[in-house]
Each structure stands twice: as structure tokens, then as C-alpha cells.
Amino acid sequence: MTPSSTSHAEPLGVARDLARYIDASPSPFHACESAARELEAAGFRRLAEPSVWDAAAGSFFVQRGGSLVAWHLPVGLEAWSPFRIIGAHTDSPNLRVKPRPDVFKAGVRQLGVEVYGGVLLHTWLDRDLGLSGRLFLRRDGRPEERLFRIDRPVLRIPNLAIHLQRDINEQGLALNRQQHMVPVIGSLQGTVPGFRDFLATELGLEADAILSWDAMCHDVQPAALVGAKEEFLSAARLDNLFSSWTGLKALLSAVVSEPTTSIPVLSLFDHEEVGSASSRGAAGPILRDLLERTVLARGGSREDWHRALATSVCVSVDMAHATHPNYSEKHDPEHTLLMNAGPVIKINANQRYATEGETEALFQAACERSGVPVQKWVNRTDLACGSTIGPLTASQLGIRTVDVGCAQLAMHSIREMCGSADPAYMIRALTAWLSEEF
């Protein structure tokens, strides 16, 4: 499927393409590598941050670990031309392997893990789990990064039988993160290799070459279209690979249309699920610094940089809570959200989302121009509201920002669910956002 045809493709085909991206991206590092391959295939050039950039015009991207920023500079653009930004995040709540993870108990070998982000813990029980992430290897005295993924079911966290907790269905399940979320990885019978040896064997390495890892568990069950007429997509990490991928497709589509007075940008951040305060998170300087360098690469001044920000806009794309048919009382009764009903503008008076009247109107207009239905959502006033990268990006750059998403169920579960028509809707809306002048 070519980038120019994606925004108007058959919705189920688009949903299947999203499923393939999710399956190929079990970690933020893989999500960025998957995006990088698509960008390079479309003619984008990877830039190294320590290098001097020859990047006055063309399509470029920078990858920093689990974060990626890509942009397109049309020929002849002024140095103070505005940015049209799509922001999303690549990380999802999961279980991450500790530095000394080997645990031996009750005849089994286990793997010590730390809970990353707001995990819906019970959904990780009785699931077949693989491992993915990155290693740093000893190579000629310097660390060398290598991505890895083990997609076979090597881990499992068993539930406790109902016979040993007779009141669980009435009293509910209480899980201790340290005690109850420790996956089983093997038996203590025979030779018992440690985790480092296990990785070395799986990946064809010498154990002594492995210096460190950023390793995490993932569900090995592939994403699937479900429902009587395949109306829904069931997958891990919809929050927020749905948004990362639709933003990528929108950027590629917008480049084909060749905007003439603005710069389309895609910014995929890591570490949103744990607060974004990192060298590559939305609370850090990564986007600000890279955008400023695009101005400098075109011969612009500090004044040009500030002029560009003054007319720039950002859409922060994250998932939204569809109204749950079994828990409708958890939602504001006047703001029902439906799957397969198009993008959602997320609004919060206390600025947990960055949406304001002006940016709400801008995104709604983009949806209308692209023939896409749009919904609006607020949280129940008596329940705490989540947040995302929108307010952080707005405060870092001082630019107009709107928070949007698509409706989903089971957010932060190991397995989430959204409408199969919504990826195509979102691509069309985001393409219009990047292509229109505000």
C-alpha cells in the first residue's frame, strides 16, 4: 500500500496493516525501528545528532532509543515557516526485567521483573509471554546496541487456584507487585542457566559479551480482527502504537501532497507511561532541540525560531476511553464515546489535556474537511483524569496544542480493543491536520 493511498484505503485493510505494525513492535525500540524502515523506504534520510546537518530541504528523521522525530522540508521554505506536529508515544505498560533477575523457588526458576507504568496487573496472569528490548554488548571496549525479540512463550505468571482462595469472586483479586507478578521461566531440574546465559543461548552470543539490557515481557498472541463482522481490533499495545502508526501514515501521506508553507512533523516519544521525564520523553528537550536545528539548517536565526513557534500547532494523539457497556456508570452520561465513530477530541478544564477552544475548533475543522466523523469527550467530574504528552509539549514549546485519540476498551490491559474502522478515520484526519494551513 502506497502512502498516498493509505488515507482512503478500505478500513479493514488499514486495520490489518496496523495489526502487523503492532506485532512487529513488542518494545518501544522495535516500534521506532519499524517506523524507521517505513520512512527510509519512502525516501526519508536518517540524521545523526552529533553530525553537522546538511538538511535545508528534504525528508529526514532522528531516532533516539525508543523515540523518533521525522519531518519534511519543502524546497524554498522560509526559515520561520510554522510546524504542523503530530505527537504520540511508543511505550506501553508492561513488565521489565530487573538487573539481577534470577529467582529460584518451589522447584521452579523465575524471572524478577519490575512493573512499568499503570499496568492492569491481573490481565498478565495466565498469558504466554515472550521477551524483547535491547542489549548492550561488549565490542572492542565500547558498548554496542542490539535489538532482540523472543516471540515464543518462554514466560508465564500462573494464577492461584480458586480452591486456595474461595472468596476471590466475591472479594476481588489483590496482587502484590513484588510477590505475585514473578513469571516462571523454567524448571530447576537438570542444568539451570541464569537469565544472561539464557539470552546468550537464544541469541547466539557469548554470555560475557552482554553488559546490560532494557528487556521487557510481551504477549506472544498476534493481533486479530474480532467480532461477528470483524468490527473490532484486539491487540496488545493499542495504547499507543495505534497513534504512532496512524501518525506515521499521515506524515507519509502529507509528504506526497507536498505542503508549501508549513513543515509536517511526527514526534514519537518514549516514557509517557512513567511521566515523560527523560532524555527522550516529552518533558525533555528532544523535540524542541531538533526543531530548532531544522531552522538553523535552513540558515535561520533565533528570531526565526521564535517566529516559527508562534504560528505552529500540535496534535497530541493518544487513546480515549470508549463507554464500557458493562460499566456505563464510570462515564459522563452526556459524553458517550463509541468505537468505529471516528476520532475523539479530549477536553479537561484543568489542563490534563491541552485542548482549548481554538485548537478544538482547528481539529474539528480538519475532520470535517477530510469527511471524518468526530467525537468530544470529558471525564466524569468526580473521577481522576489521566493525561498524556499534550500539556507537556505545549509547555515545552509554547505552541497551540489539541489532545485527541480514538475510543478503545480495556486500556492498559495486556490485550486492548478498538474499532477496526477507526485507524482509517484517524489517518485521514491527521493527514488533513498536516496538510491544511491554520
Output the pLDDT for position 43. 97
Of 219, 254, 286, the residue that ends a domain is 219
Q: How many Å apart are CA 312 and CA 81, to the nearest integer?
A: 8
- CA quadruple 176, 182, 188, 194: dihedral sign: negative
Q: Report how far residue 39's alpha carbon sits from residue 61's, in angstroms, rounded to the nearest whole number.
A: 8
CATH code of the domain containing 186: 2.30.250.10
Longest dimension (CA), the chain: 72
Residue 228 lies in a domain: no
Identify whether residues 117 and 83 lie together within a single domain.
no
Domain ranges, residue 212? 94-219
Question: What percent of the chain clears pLDDT 90, i.e. is strictly above it?
Answer: 92
Name 345's bridge partners: 376, 404
Complete DSSP assignment for 257-295: H--SSSEEEEEEES-GGGTS-STTSTTSSHHHHHHHHHH
Q: How confident is the model at residue 189 (pLDDT cuts 50, 70, 90)?
A: confident
Provide the grid cell at 421: 474502522
Mean pLDDT of 232-242: 98
DSSP E strands in 318-377: the ranges are 320-321, 344-346, 375-377
Q: 219, 248, 276 — which closes off a domain?
A: 219
Residue 323 domain flag: yes
The reply to whether 227 falls in a domain is no
Q: Give the residue-averaged pLDDT of 281-290.
A: 97
Kindly state whether residues 199 and 256 are assigned to the same domain: no
CA 114 to chain centre: 20
- Beta strand pairing call for 313-317 and 320-321: unpaired
Looking at the fold, whether 39 and 133 belong to one and the same domain comes out as no
**What 3-state class would DSSP assign to 250?**
helix
Q: Is residue 17 part of a domain?
A: yes
Q: Which of 219, 250, 283 is the last residue of a domain?
A: 219
| Contacts for 427 with CB less than 8 Å, ≥ 6 apart | 6, 7, 14, 246, 249, 250, 253
Cell of 78: 522560509
336 & 244 share domain: yes
The per-residue pLDDT for 438 is 60
- Do residues 120 and 60 both lie within one domain? no
Instruction: Tell me: pLDDT of 260 over 80.
Output: no
Is 76 in the same domain as 104?
no
Query: Quick one: 48 and 184 in the same domain?
Result: no
pLDDT for residue 8 is more than 70: no
Contact call for residues 371 and 428 (beta carbons, < 8 A): yes
As a whole number of angstroms, the distance between CA 61 and CA 36 comes to 8
pLDDT at residue 102 is higher than 80? yes
Contact by Cβ (8 Å): 340, 421: yes
What is the average pLDDT across 284-292?
A: 97
Confidence of residue 39 (pLDDT cuts 50, 70, 90): very high
Residues 100 and 172 in one domain: yes
- Residues facing residue 417 across a β-bridge: 234, 409
> Which pLDDT score is estimated for 3?
43
Q: Exposed/middle/buried for 376, CB within 10 Å: 0-12, 13-18, 19+?
A: middle
* Residue 400 included in any domain: yes
Number of structural domains in the chain:
2
Comparison of pLDDT for 49 and 192, the residue scoring more = 49
Task: Please report, for residues 138, 244, 390, 419, the alpha-carbon distance to residue 428 in angstroms, rounded to integers and kept in the order given.
Answer: 45, 14, 20, 15
User: What CA–CA distance (Å, rounded) separates 218 from 96?
Assistant: 10
Q: Looking at residue 18, which CATH number applies to its domain?
A: 3.40.630.10
186 shares its domain with 165: yes
262 and 381 in a single domain? The answer is yes
Mind giving me the DSSP string for 101-146?
A: EEEEETTEEEEEEEEESS--GGGGTT--EEEEEEEEEEETTEEEEE
Q: Is residue 226 part of a domain?
A: no
Contact 26, 436 (CB under 8 A): no
Counting residues of the chain whose pLDDT is more than 70, the rounded percentage is 96
Higher-confidence residue of 158 and 6: namely 158
Please check whether residue 25 lies inside any domain of the structure: yes
Please tell me the predicted confidence (pLDDT) of residue 259. Answer: 62
pLDDT of 190 higher than 80: no
* Overall average pLDDT of the 148-175 stretch: 96
In three-state secondary structure terms, 179 is helix
Q: How confident is the model at residue 2, as a pLDDT?
A: 43
- Provide CB contacts within 8 A for 36, sequence distance 6+: 46, 61, 63, 68
Do residues 254 and 35 lie in contact, with contact meaning Cβ atoms separated by under 8 Å? Answer: no
Residues 125 and 68 in one domain: no
| Same structural domain, 86 and 116 | no
Asked whether residue 327 is assigned to any structural domain, the reply reads yes
